[in-house]
Amino acid sequence: MKKVFQRPRYLKKAVFHYCPGCGHSIIHRLIAEVIEELNIGEKTIGVPPAGCAVLAYDYLDVDMGEAPHGRGAAVATGLKRVLPDHIIFSYQGDGDIAAIGTAETIHAANRGENISVFFINNACYGMTGGQMAPTTLLGQESTTTPGGRRKDRDAAPIDLSEMLAIARGSVYIERTTVNSPKSIRKTKKAITKSFKIQMAGLGFSLIEILSPCPVNWKMAPVEAARWIDDEMIKTFPLKVIKDTAGKID
């Protein structure tokens, strides 16, 4: 019997505005699938960022509370404290969470705020034209580093997930990607675990997802997917960085 490809209940019937090969559309679908499978749609609130995913509320059919640039964890904290029975997640790019949002995120993790954070790392400022971000790789060209990022001038890339793992209130930190079917399945499992940790009241969790940005990387979509394996994971290895929750049902 032929399997019918169905749209998840919590993914709106809308055409994504994202560039061809971008990972946001895949990640949106995964979040929508997990929300449906866990039957939490009626009590889920998302916090989209300033950045390429600022219009996430056009695609995810759950309540949304928009955050100023970098303030996703702060807004999510406020929502969770007012509505502790709800499932709250922030969805943030690397230019958002690893730059202007570092303070809010680190302190939310240290306090053990019971929220889920989805950190989309495409190694650049995507929406504003491909400038160097805190996660831009050494040697990587951007509109503000035309000769490549240099350690002596620009410092090394920030590994925010490793930093957050040190925070005593963080429970689960994992880095995944969405550049192949196998990696997409692993990312969905990580998203599921993050939500389950929150449902169990265990504390702060974050999933960092390496995501292709073909337009700003000046690559074809297939080439961008390969670049994650060939280059990006050398700086940001795929792994469970911290897990004090263990197996959770």
Alpha helices by DSSP H, listed for 113-167, are 151-154, 160-166
- Is residue 115 within 8 Å of 73, Cβ to Cβ? yes
Return the half-sphere exposure (C-beta side, CA atoms, 13 A cut-off) of residue 190: 29
Whether residue 222 is contained in a domain is answered as: yes
Torsion of CA 211, 215, 220, 223, to 10 degrees: -40
Closest CA to 190 of 202, 178, 203: 178
Structure tokens at 211: 């995501």
Q: How many domains does the chain have?
A: 1
Q: What is the CATH number of the domain that holds 173?
A: 3.40.50.970
Classify residue 228 by its DSSP letter.
I
The number of beta carbons lying within 10 Å of the beta carbon of residue 84 is 10
Question: Three-state SS for 8?
Answer: coil
Whether residue 13 is contained in a domain is answered as: no
Place of tokens 């004090």: 244
Tell me the angle at which helices 181-199 and 24-37 cross, rounded to the nearest 10 degrees: 50
- What integer pLDDT is reported at residue 129 of this predicted model? 87
- What integer pLDDT is reported at residue 2 of this predicted model? 53
pTM for the whole structure: 0.96
Share of the chain residues as helix, strand and coil, in percent rounded to the nearest 5: 40, 20, 40
- What integer pLDDT is reported at residue 59 of this predicted model? 96
Q: What is the pLDDT along the chain (249 residues), one digit of tens a residue?
A: 555 678 999 999 999 999 999 999 999 999 999 999 999 999 999 999 888 888 999 999 999 998 988 899 999 999 999 999 999 999 999 999 999 999 999 999 999 999 999 999 999 998 888 899 999 999 999 999 999 999 999 999 999 999 999 999 999 999 999 999 999 999 999 999 999 999 999 999 999 999 999 999 999 999 999 999 999 999 999 999 999 999 887
Whether residue 1 is contained in a domain is answered as: no
Closest CA to 40 of 62, 21, 55: 62
d(CA 144, CA 241): 31
Whether residue 16 is contained in a domain is answered as: no
The CA radius of gyration of the chain, in Å to the nearest whole number, is 17
Whether residue 120 is contained in a domain is answered as: yes
Domain that holds residue 79: 24-243
Whether residue 15 is contained in a domain is answered as: no
Whether residue 8 is contained in a domain is answered as: no
- What integer pLDDT is reported at residue 127 of this predicted model? 84
- What integer pLDDT is reported at residue 3 of this predicted model? 57
Whether residue 18 is contained in a domain is answered as: no
